[in-house]
Amino acid sequence: MQQAVRSGINRRQFLKRVGAAAGATVLLGPLGRLTGYGQMQKVVRAALWQEPEGLNPFFFIQTASRIVRKRVLEGLFRIAPDGSVVPVLAAEVPTQQNGGISEDGKTITIKLKKGLVWSDGTPVTAQDVVFTWEVVMDDRNPVSSRAGYDLIEDMSTPDDTTVVMRFREVYAPFLTLFSVNHAVLPRHVFNGNTDLSQSPFNREPVVGTGPFKFVRWESGAFIELEKNPMYRGAPDKPLLDKLIYTIVPARETAIQQIKTGQVDAMWNLLESQIPEFQGLADVRLLNTPSANLEYLGLNLSDPRSQDPNNPGYTDPNKPHPILGDPAVREAIELAIDKQAIVDALFGGLTSVAVSPISPFHWANNPEIGPSEYNPDKAKQLLDEAGWTPGPGGVRVKDGVRMDLRIMTTTGDQIRLQTEQIIQRYLLEVGINLQIVNVPSAVLFSKNGPLQTGDYDIAEDTWGPDFDPADFLTILFHSNSLPPNGWNFFRINSPDIDKHIDLGNSAIGIEARKPHYQIAQKLILDTGAYIPLYNRSLIDAFRTNVKGVTEGGNPWDDFSWDAENWDV
Amino acid sequence: MGHYLLRRLVEGIPLLLGITLVVYLVLVSIPGGPLAAYRNNPRVRAEDLARLEKQLGLDRPVHVRYALWLGRFVRGDWGYSYVTRQPVLSMIWERFQNTVYLMGISMLVTLLLALPIGIYSAVRQYSLFDHAMTGLAFMGYSMPVFWLGLLLMLLFSVELRWFPAGGMFTVGEELSGWEAFLDRLRYLALPVITLTIVSTGFYARYLRASLLDVIHQDYVRTAWAKGLRGSRVIFRHALRNALIPFVTVVAIHLPQLFTGAVVVETLFAWPGIGRLFWDSALRFDYPVLMGVLAIGALLVWFFNLLADLLYGYLDPRIRYG
């Protein structure tokens, strides 16, 4: 009796409480976090399919983080669509003529624009630049790269708008410091404390100089920016009241949302997604060339060898049994019809790549043209080198059959198709390719095939920044042989090293250019790097967004000109 | 009872420790690691990588890292995300509310549908309704969630434009009161419908089975024989007992309310725990992953215990020793 009563009451109470709690969730949940906006505002919503890590320019490296950050925090310079350097916070681009670069190239003087203010009204001063450098060099901060900053001996500020940087040695890419992918931080917000490792500013940069001001960030949902009334540009800029970056889990979601008008713009489509937009009158695509290109990397070292100095890595001095033969490398490039790949996979939206440095880059060597497609010549080269056709048409030499693995990241349809086409081309000349793709985290990991050298041919995308120094050095310099860098081809050429070094240390772009141009030629001559096609950046806008610069900016992101947007 | 509870609590400690250890080992053995994204960035040089590795403590052996994590975790310090550099606890808390909101409502809708369907199917066993519901139930829970969700999205968002394609509310528009409430409901519709379709069948079938068990027992036949009204027999006599196993099944499934639904949240861009977990997994964010997994393990363990206790509480025939 007692138990029956107990369980009866309990169950009822239990059910009542469950019901009440659930009811409260339904009713209060939706009402819980409502916020109001001013009416009739000009708002653009742009979808990112990747959530930014944070908004500190020095700690986070993903593109999505940079896109949002750049609207709020600015650097000394930025790069215009034509590749020229434009002063932003700086008053002019330092040269030897205007006294910005010293005779020995080691001292750089930068003048800031006069009358600049942060979004809270505080003046921007040279002290902010010095503070930013101190933040980068503070060991407590998780700074992703100190490249260049660690070459600065000291910085001084003769007056409030002048910064003098003294370098230990000539650092040619100095224009990228505090600029492009980096920015200047507001010293007064931190009271001069350079430890930003756990600062809320990393996520909520509430003070900046950019056209927009940070408002709030709802994790997994959106980051809201509003017009910065203190923005130095024309008084009416930006034209929008709000720019909201919405965060979606995948490109597919963003595509559906831009079709329905839930968002007005979306970042970064895949080439294979272009057909989804055909016949849509209210969405248009922005196709921006990029310095990134798809290429094949050929392993010059024997995948089975061991470097006595670096156990676990192949020996760069032990040649690859097949690819170690220069004739084979040349034959592979001759056997591939790159134009046919571009036509088949991209329908004319991109072009054949000719050099690691794209044609529109200032450091490109204009004398380099596309490679020749000539399978007969490829066969002839292989014949002459002693590779004779064996069973199944696959060539053999001294008992070594031409069986090679080609490797790229999984989950990319276009890449897989590229591999399949190349597979057919190479089989025609007697080289058998086996496709073995791995996830990108594996491909690029410390113990991955590229680093250890356990691969034959890799397909990847890479390209230089505005300043090609880092790119050329980390990919092709012998100092960057794994595990010390990304020279996974194992190119070991004193000549290439010399010209990269000269390009990295000469003073002024005109003096650097010829060295990089020679280096490109030498890199292509190794045959270990085969450029395939240029990658472009594809973004989408609804047609109600006006003021978007045609052709985009290869050196920036799709919202680089958001201050000019209007709806 | 007190003794039983104490034993279960003590047993839980090595269990949870074991789970966190295994999970940690699995996580660190996945190739890539938190610095994978930095590795093929030309500006990040070998010396930068070494410095970052040291800062994150990744230069230490795995067992030391686990011990350090555990030591801090039991003291309530969940650490900082490797990726966002934010405190793990606040990252989880921000998403937690959204997950409870979505999962709570879909659980409620599911139960509101499953209860009458289950009862009616049992009472009218082998009727047309029963057969139809059985068919639909199997169809529902054998459908892949991502496929169903995508289909619903294509139909109701892209084609018909009835509901938005993902998100939690309209971003950047002034809405308040009733309008805001309706706006929220529109965003809730598709994820809730998806979750409801795939899980209603399960609960309805379960309730049907357990009610059928009871309906054929002697005391129910006695009740019928006494001439009681049908609804009284079903609701007061049969259902009471049939609900006992049902409640435990619901209790066991409650942790889902907090751990979320990775697929549905990802599909509908819902900023919940499931998506946080997915994003963190892609970025090898060990502290966040460990935080979410530890909460998940703790909740599963807790609700299983709760289900066992509840069962004994509701059914006096069960005794714990």
Contact (CB<8Å) A221/B184: no
Which token pair is A282? 């209210």
How many beta-carbon pairs below 8 A join chains A and B? Answer: 213
Contact (CB<8Å) B55/A54: no
Mutate to test the interface with B, among A219, A446, A451 (most CBs of B within 10 A): A219
Note the pLDDT tens digit of each residue in B39-84: 778 788 888 989 999 998 899 999 999 999 999 998 989 999 999 9
Give the phi and the psi of residue A476 in degrees, each rounded to 5.
-125, -10
The answer to whether A447 and A313 are in contact (CB under 8 A) is no
SS3 call for A239: coil
Mutate to test the interface with A, among B35, B43, B150 (most CBs of A within 10 A): B43
Per-residue model confidence (pLDDT) at position A5 = 39
Contact (CB<8Å) B39/A37: no
d(CA A63, CA A387): 45
In B, which residues are within 8 Å of A21 by CB distance?
104
More confident residue, B261 or B21: B21
Asked if pLDDT for residue B250 goes beyond 80, the answer is: yes
Min Cα separation B271/chain A (Å)? 5
Which domains are seen in chain B, by residue range?
A: 23-77 (no CATH), 91-145+195-314 (1.10.3720.10)
- The pLDDT-based confidence of B34 (bands split at 50, 70, 90) is confident
In B, which residues are within 8 Å of A445 by CB distance?
31-33, 36, 39
Per-residue model confidence (pLDDT) at position A23 = 57
Contact (CB<8Å) A54/B84: yes
Per-residue model confidence (pLDDT) at position A81 = 93
Contact (CB<8Å) B32/A445: yes
Min Cα separation B140/chain A (Å)? 23
Contact (CB<8Å) B31/A448: yes
Burial degree of A494 (CB within 10 A; 0-12, 13-18, 19+):
exposed
Which token pair is A322? 């097949």
Mutate to test the interface with A, among B27, B84, B99, B150 (most CBs of A within 10 A): B84
Cβ–Cβ contact B160 with A under 8 A: no
Per-residue model confidence (pLDDT) at position A538 = 93
Contact (CB<8Å) A441/B36: yes
Contact (CB<8Å) B188/A30: yes
Asked if pLDDT for residue A365 goes beyond 90, the answer is: yes
Per-residue model confidence (pLDDT) at position A4 = 39
- The pLDDT-based confidence of A19 (bands split at 50, 70, 90) is low
d(CA A171, CA B235): 83
The residue in chain B having the minimum alpha-carbon distance to the alpha carbon of residue A196 is B85
Note the pLDDT tens digit of each residue in A521-539: 999 999 999 999 999 899 9
Per-residue model confidence (pLDDT) at position A1 = 34
Cβ–Cβ contact B32 with A under 8 A: yes
In B, which residues are within 8 Å of A145 by CB distance?
41, 43-45, 48
Note the pLDDT tens digit of each residue in B199-228: 999 999 999 999 999 988 888 888 888 888
How do strand A43-48 and strand A242-247 relate by DSSP bridges?
parallel
Per-residue model confidence (pLDDT) at position B321 = 57
Residue B159 DSSP label: I
In B, which residues are within 8 Å of A143 by CB distance?
48, 51
The answer to whether A491 and A473 are in contact (CB under 8 A) is no
| Residue whose C-alpha is closest to residue B289's, from B41, B50, B25 | B25
* Cis omega (within 30 of 0) for bond into B87: no
The residue in chain A having the minimum alpha-carbon distance to the alpha carbon of residue B281 is A441
Per-residue model confidence (pLDDT) at position A25 = 54
Select the residue of B85, B173, B284 nearest A142 (Cβ to Cβ): B85
- Say which residues have a Cβ less than 8 Å from residue A286's Cβ, sequence separation at least 6: A537, A538, A539, A540, A541, A548, A552, A558
Phi-psi region of A390 (alpha: psi -120 to 50; beta: other; left: phi over 0): beta
SS3 call for A355: coil
| Residue whose C-alpha is closest to residue B27's, from B82, B99, B76, B85 | B82
Average pLDDT over every residue of A242-255: 93
B residues 214-273 lying closer than 8 A (beta carbon) to A: 240, 243, 247, 265-272
- Do A74-200 and A293-534 have matching folds? no
Min Cα separation A166/chain B (Å)? 21
Cβ–Cβ contact B157 with A under 8 A: yes
B residues 97-126 lying closer than 8 A (beta carbon) to A: 97-98, 100-101, 104-105, 107-108
More confident residue, B161 or A26: B161
Contact (CB<8Å) A30/B180: yes
In A, which residues are within 8 Å of B32 by CB distance?
439, 441-442, 444-445
SS3 call for A409: strand
Asked if pLDDT for residue A29 goes beyond 60, the answer is: no
In A, which residues are within 8 Å of B47 by CB distance?
146
Per-residue model confidence (pLDDT) at position A12 = 55
Asked if pLDDT for residue A166 goes beyond 50, the answer is: yes
CATH homologous superfamily of A39-72+210-289+536-567: Periplasmic binding protein-like II (3.40.190.10)
Min Cα separation A284/chain B (Å)? 17
Min Cα separation A100/chain B (Å)? 25
Residue A411 CB neighbours (<10 A): 10
Cβ–Cβ contact B213 with A under 8 A: no
Note the pLDDT tens digit of each residue in A69-117: 999 999 999 999 998 999 999 999 999 999 999 999 999 999 999 999 9
Contact (CB<8Å) B42/A59: no
Per-residue model confidence (pLDDT) at position A419 = 96
* Domain chopping of chain A, boundaries: 2-38, 39-72+210-289+536-567, 74-200, 293-534
Cβ–Cβ contact B40 with A under 8 A: yes
Mutate to test the interface with A, among B45, B155, B237 (most CBs of A within 10 A): B45
| Residue whose C-alpha is closest to residue A342's, from A538, A527, A524, A536 | A536
Asked if pLDDT for residue A243 goes beyond 60, the answer is: yes
- Say which residues have a Cβ less than 8 Å from residue B185's Cβ, sequence separation at least 6: A30
Per-residue model confidence (pLDDT) at position B245 = 87
Fold annotation for A293-534? Dipeptide-binding Protein; domain 3 (3.10.105)
The answer to whether A441 and B31 are in contact (CB under 8 A) is yes
CATH of the domain spanning A74-200: 3.90.76.10
d(CA B192, CA B41): 41
Per-residue model confidence (pLDDT) at position A33 = 42
| Residue whose C-alpha is closest to residue A85's, from A467, A359, A363, A360 | A467
Cβ–Cβ contact B30 with A under 8 A: yes
Q: Find how far residue A312's CA is from the centre of its chain.
A: 29
List of E strands, A367-508:
388-389, 395-397, 400-401, 403-407, 432-435, 457-462
Per-residue model confidence (pLDDT) at position A2 = 40
Contact (CB<8Å) A203/B56: no
Min Cα separation A189/chain B (Å)? 19
H helix or E strand, kind and range, residue A538: strand A529-542
d(CA A163, CA A124): 12
Per-residue model confidence (pLDDT) at position A10 = 55
CA-based angle A35:B185:B154, to the nearest 5? Answer: 115
User: Whats the size of chain B, residue-wise?
Assistant: 321
Select the residue of A203, A247, A256 nearest B153 (Cβ to Cβ): A256
Asked if pLDDT for residue A427 goes beyond 90, the answer is: yes
Note the pLDDT tens digit of each residue in B82-122: 999 999 999 999 999 999 999 999 999 999 999 999 999 99
Cβ–Cβ contact B307 with A under 8 A: no
Give the phi and the psi of residue B148 in degrees, each rounded to 5.
-60, -45
The pTM (predicted TM-score) of the whole model is 0.88
Average pLDDT over every residue of B13-42: 87
When the pLDDT of each residue in chain A is averaged and rounded to a whole number, the result is 91
Asked if pLDDT for residue A283 goes beyond 70, the answer is: yes
